[in-house]
């Protein structure tokens, strides 16, 4: 089942590299508007938000649409990690407040070589 949006975290990447990857993948350029650590653009009709250092050295990439090439966060994290050669993290599925705090700390980490591991990540 397709997620309604995609959110992943990239370690020590940068907006230019990520933007070049999105442009190549989505087939349209990203014209960024930046306010502080948050940049926004519309790329191939998809609203995109880049939050620099959202959690320590991890940057957040949010694609606010279900019209992406990826069905879920993990597929996007795998593609980003392999292309950008960085570690990526994502939630293992859609999380809702009713799921509780313990579930909020359960994440998947994808390494630059594509391997996936379940981790506990305290983001707050």
Quote the distance between the C-alpha of residue 64 and its chain's center: 11
What does the pLDDT look like over 67-101, one tens digit per residue? 999 999 999 999 999 999 999 999 987 655 665 55
User: Considering the entire predicted model, what is its pTM?
Assistant: 0.90
Average pLDDT estimate for 29-54: 96
Band of residue 12 on the pLDDT scale cut at 50, 70, 90: confident
Q: What percent of the chain has pLDDT over 70?
A: 90
As a whole number, the mean pLDDT across the chain is 91
Q: Where are the alpha helices (DSSP H) in the chain?
A: 15-26, 73-84, 101-104
Which pair of tokens denotes residue 14?
């940068």
Q: What does the domain layout of the chain look like in residue ranges?
A: 6-120
Band of residue 113 on the pLDDT scale cut at 50, 70, 90: very high
Neighbours of 114 (CB within 10 A): 10
Q: Identify which has the larger pLDDT, 72 or 122.
A: 72
In the predicted model, is pLDDT for residue 5 greater than 90?
A: yes
- Residue of 10, 119, 1, 120 lying closest to 63 (CA atoms): 10
């Amino acid at each position: 089942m397709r997620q309604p949006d995609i959110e992943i975290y990239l370690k020590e990447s940068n907006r230019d590299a990520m933007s070049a990857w999105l442009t190549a993948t989505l087939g349209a350029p990203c014209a960024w508007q930046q306010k502080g650590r948050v940049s926004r653009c519309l790329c191939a009709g998809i609203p995109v938000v880049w939050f620099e250092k959202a959690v320590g050295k991890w940057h957040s990439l949010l694609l606010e649409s279900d019209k992406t090439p990826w069905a879920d966060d993990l597929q996007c994290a795998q593609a980003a990690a392999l292309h950008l050669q960085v570690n990526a993290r994502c939630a293992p599925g859609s999380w809702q407040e009713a799921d509780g705090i313990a579930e909020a700390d359960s994440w998947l980490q994808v390494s630059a070589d594509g391997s996936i591991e379940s981790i506990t990540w305290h983001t707050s």
